[in-house]
Amino acid sequence: MGPGFSYRHLYYFWVVAKEGGMARAAARLGMAVQTVSTQVRELERSLGYALFKPAGRGVALTEAGIAAMRQAEQIFQLGEQLPDVVRDAVGSPSVRLVIGISDELPKLAVRSLIQPVLREPHLRLLCLVDEFEDLLGDLALHRLDIVLADRAAPPNPSLKVYSHALGASALAWYAPASLYAAARRGFPDSLARVPVLLPTTHAAVRARLDQWFERLGIKPHVVGEFEDSALLKTFGAAGMGVFPMAGLVHDELVSRYGVKRVGACEGVEEYFFAIGANKKVLHPLVQRLLPNQR
């Protein structure tokens, strides 16, 4: 038995929702506004609910519209992927995995976290870096297969996602050669004298670092704060300041960036999580990433 609605009507609804108004959707589709409006009304009639409500000069989604939009996003995203799927099927086989990476997560740690899937011989990996909240939204819309972050997803009934702890790594302080001697002298009190770089409060570990400073009675000489961990270590390695980083990436950090470990950040750890959407069928490579699925 087929659905009680037309996918053509659903497509028009999807375009209107993305454009935010009937006129803009009609312009995009190259159709008359009345035609688009009629198609959307037909979808509302078949579903039994109003999907839009007036909002200024445009329209906004109702609660029913939001639910319909979630499904439409999945449907038409799959449609957009169809050419690639067909091309891959007749060409060399590949397994596509789309990973969202939270911008505050140490990028050098990402490779270690996804090591279990890198052994896949036909892997086609797509990594997207964005803010944590935006990644959760894309995950809920099934635009991503998994999200890697420094925190678990917050409780939210409207976001059907789950969090898996991947582990933790103790933090340590690193310095470029130009600052190493000064940072080592009287560490950790030296952090009140030498320039210090920190992640912004956007990162979950920042609160733990602030508590560490407060516990030791140190007022750090902060000269820079960075949302992106890659920028933090790049500016630190270039000589701007001493910076904290997860011990998990020690070897690569020292060899690639030429910095030296100053000392431990006792009692402070960075946590790593894999966050996925609730699905009946879990992506086989996502299963490899999750500790209790291996």
CB 69 within 8 A of CB 57: no
pTM score of the predicted model: 0.65
Contact of 115 with 123, CB cutoff 8 Å: no
CA distance 53 to 199: 42
CATH number at residue 26: 1.10.10.10
Amino acid in position 228: D
212 with 251, same domain: the answer is yes
Q: How far apart are CA 137 and CA 199, in angstroms?
A: 23
CA-only gyration radius of the chain, Å: 24
pLDDT of residue 270: 93
> Is 1 contained in some domain?
no
Contacts for 76-83 with beta carbons within 8 Å, 24 or more apart? 76/11, 76/14, 77/141, 77/142, 77/143
Q: How far is the C-alpha of 19 from the C-alpha of 30, rounded, in Å?
A: 13
Q: Residue range 194-207: average pLDDT?
A: 94
pLDDT in tens, 80-137: 777 776 766 666 567 888 999 998 888 888 888 888 888 888 888 889 998 888 888 8
What residue type is 213 in one-letter code? F
Q: Which of 109, 114, 147, 111 is nearest to 128 (CA)?
A: 147
List the domain range (segments joined by +) for residue 95: 88-167+273-289
More confident residue, 83 or 171: 171
**Structural domain contains residue 294:** no
Residues 283 and 145 in one domain: yes
CA dihedral 116, 208, 153, 252 (to 10 degrees): -20
How many residues are given for the chain? Answer: 294
In a domain, 256, yes or no: yes
CB 156 within 8 A of CB 179: no
Q: What are the residues whose beta carbons fall under 8 Å from the beta carbon of 208, sequence distance 6 or more? A: 268, 269
Q: Residue 252: inside a domain, yes or no? A: yes
State whether 209 and 284 are in the same domain.
Answer: no
Amino acid 292: pLDDT: 61
| Number of alpha carbons in the 13 Å side-chain half-sphere of residue 228 | 7
Q: Please indicate, yes or no, whether residues 145 and 279 belong to a single structural domain of this protein.
A: yes
Tokens of 226: 């960075």
Residue of higher predicted confidence among 213 and 27: 213
Q: How far is it, in rounded angstroms, from Cα 55 to Cα 53?
A: 6
pLDDT tens profile 208-227: 999 999 999 999 999 999 98
Mean pLDDT for the stretch of residues 264-293: 81
CATH of the domain at 115: 3.40.190.10
> Within this chain, do residues 133 and 147 fall inside the same structural domain, yes or no?
yes
Q: Please tell me the predicted confidence (pLDDT) of residue 100.
A: 93
Overall number of domains in the chain: 3
Q: What is the pLDDT of residue 89?
A: 63
More confident residue, 229 or 279: 229
Please check the confidence at residue 2 and state whether its pLDDT lies above 50: no
- d(C-alpha 249, C-alpha 272), whole Å: 13
| pLDDT over 90 percentage in the chain | 41
d(C-alpha 267, C-alpha 274), whole Å: 23
What's the pLDDT tens digit per position in 35-83?
Answer: 889 989 999 999 999 999 988 878 889 999 898 888 888 888 777 777 7
Quick one: which of 264, 205, 197 has its CA closest to 236? 197
Residue range 133-151, pLDDT digits in tens = 888 888 887 888 899 999 9
Q: What is the mean pLDDT of the chain?
A: 87
For helices 33-47 and 7-19, angle between their N-to-C axes, nearest 10 degrees: 120
Q: Are 96 and 124 in contact (CB under 8 A)?
A: yes
In 3D space, the residue among 61, 71, 70 whose CA is nearest the CA of residue 40 turns out to be: 61
What is the pLDDT, as a whole number, of residue 6?
82
Contact 269, 170 (CB under 8 A): yes
What is the average pLDDT across 240-253? 94
Which of the pair, 283 or 130, is modelled with greater confidence?
130
